[in-house]
Amino acid sequence: MKTPIFILLIIALCISSGCSNAQFMSSEKILIVYLSRTNNTKAIAEIIHNNIGGALVALELENPYPENYQATVHQVVKENETGYLPTLKTKIDSIDNYVVVFLGFPTWDMKMPPPMKTFLHQYDLRGKTVIPFNTNAGYGVGSGFQTVKELCPNSRVLEGFSITGGVEKDGVYYVIKGEKAQEAEKKVKKWLQKIKVIE
């Protein structure tokens, strides 16, 4: 089935005018980057990917955090206090090829995790549409979404999405599965519709 000519004209106008909504562009122009310790943020990233396509990339570190929760908490607090940015093992080629960048991360220490800060310092997202999403233990996003705005001053930052995931300190890990996954799917779709990424 051929694409109607008026749809092609809309796409052309959208691109020429700098419109960045994902429904108007090839999935090759969409990047979904996420950091996930207990796979809850990964689950949301995969739901987004299933709805809009794009490149799905997990952030990995040269030196991973300890498996022990308390040791990781201690390390993250220290990194936040000193401004230390851990080195990423993940490399993204041709960041300029992407127009829409989704950023997924859990809330750590009521802040954006240091590895995501590394990513935002390492890659220039100016001129792109940046869309954050978050999982947390029930205490909310903290300053995470505000940090996205601060580190992407020349980007168009859309309304973010947040959902409760596991509570690692209580031994509750991957929870976005089964009925919880179905509930998350509905919430993600509603959010994507609200920010006009899907119809």
For residue 154, give both structure tokens: 């020349």
pLDDT of residue 199: 87
CA nearest neighbour of 116 among 197, 34, 45, 171: 34
The terminus-to-terminus CA distance of the chain in angstroms comes to 20
Vertex 159: Cα angle to 153 and 165 (nearest 5): 115
pLDDT of residue 26: 81
pLDDT of residue 20: 44
Strands (E), 107-186: 129-136, 156-157, 161-164
How far is the C-alpha of 193 from the C-alpha of 21, rounded, in Å? Answer: 11
Residues in Cβ contact with 98 at an 8 Å cutoff, skipping those fewer than 6 apart: 29, 30, 31, 55, 128
How far is the C-alpha of 177 from the C-alpha of 179, rounded, in Å? Answer: 6
Beta-bridge partners for 108 = 111
User: pTM of the prediction?
Assistant: 0.88
pLDDT of residue 187: 98
Beta-bridge partners for 58 = 34
CB atoms within 10 A of CB 70: 9
Q: Which domains can be identified in the chain, with CATH numbers?
A: 20-194 (3.40.50.360)
How far is the C-alpha of 187 from the C-alpha of 193, rounded, in Å? Answer: 10
Pick out the chain residues at pLDDT < 70: 1-25
CA nearest neighbour of 103 among 116, 122, 91: 116
Q: How far is CA 63 from the centre of its chain?
A: 21
Q: Which amino acid is at 176?
A: I
How far is the C-alpha of 179 from the C-alpha of 130, rounded, in Å? Answer: 29
CB atoms within 10 A of CB 82: 9
pLDDT of residue 5: 39
How far is the C-alpha of 37 from the C-alpha of 158, rounded, in Å? Answer: 24
